[in-house]
Amino acid sequence: MGGSGGVMGGLRAASTPGVGMAARLSCDAPTALPGNRVTVRLVDMGMSRMMGGVAPMGAPMLLTVDPATVPTGQVSLVVENTGWRTHEVVILPLAPGVAAGQRVPGADGTVDETGSLGEASGTCAAGAGDGIASGSVGWVTVTLAPGHYELVCNLQNHYADGMRQELVVTG
């Protein structure tokens, strides 16, 4: 897991490049997840645990993927929320020639999830839930065909604020 920190008082500290204050992780995904493991880090920069409510437009947020390319087949996304807000990751296919970040959010500040192939939104749990709480990990295992996929946090304004990244699956 490139970029992950070490053990600190029983908690693993996250170290995301360029981010000074990140929530420490209080749980881990199982070590024996099937397929290729991809670490997804979620960060909301310049925010604190005391900020609640809807993320404002223009708030600096980041979603990183490591590695960004994996072979076809089973892929386990391990999603580390080192930000201060609740986040999630939804897997959306990208049409040929379309790059990540080109979806247009609706009036509710989210993008269309039609065709979603799965999501990690459970706190310290697999699959869908109510969102991954600050300092927690969620995970999901999916089978992906060769192609390009966009991993997005689809909570209100998070996509527009930068929480999207491409994952390439090779044949």
Question: Domains (ranges, CATH) in the chain?
Answer: 4-170 (2.60.40.420)
Residue 48: the pLDDT is 53
Query: pLDDT tens-digit profile of 119-130?
Result: 999 999 999 999
Q: Is the pLDDT of residue 12 over 60?
A: no
Q: What are phi and psi of 33, to 5 degrees?
A: -75, 145
pLDDT per residue as tens digits for the range 56-113: 788 889 999 999 999 999 999 999 999 989 999 999 999 999 999 999 999 999 999 9
For residue 11, is pLDDT > 90? no
pTM for this structure?
0.85
Cα–Cα distances in Å, from 121 out to 20, 80, 95, 127? 25, 11, 24, 6
Are the C-beta atoms of residues 89 and 119 closer than 8 Å to each other?
yes
32 pLDDT higher than 50:
yes
How many whole angstroms separate alpha carbon 43 and alpha carbon 123?
A: 15
Angle at 31 between CA 27 and CA 37, to 5 degrees: 105
User: Residue 54: is its pLDDT beyond 90?
Assistant: no
pLDDT in tens, 148-163: 999 999 999 999 999 9
> Does the pLDDT of residue 18 top 60, yes or no?
no
Q: How far is the C-alpha of 19 from the C-alpha of 71, rounded, in Å?
A: 30
- Say what percent of the chain tops pLDDT 90: 75
Mean per-residue pLDDT of the chain: 87
Identify which has the larger pLDDT, 23 or 14. Answer: 23
Cα separation of 97 and 99, whole Å? 7
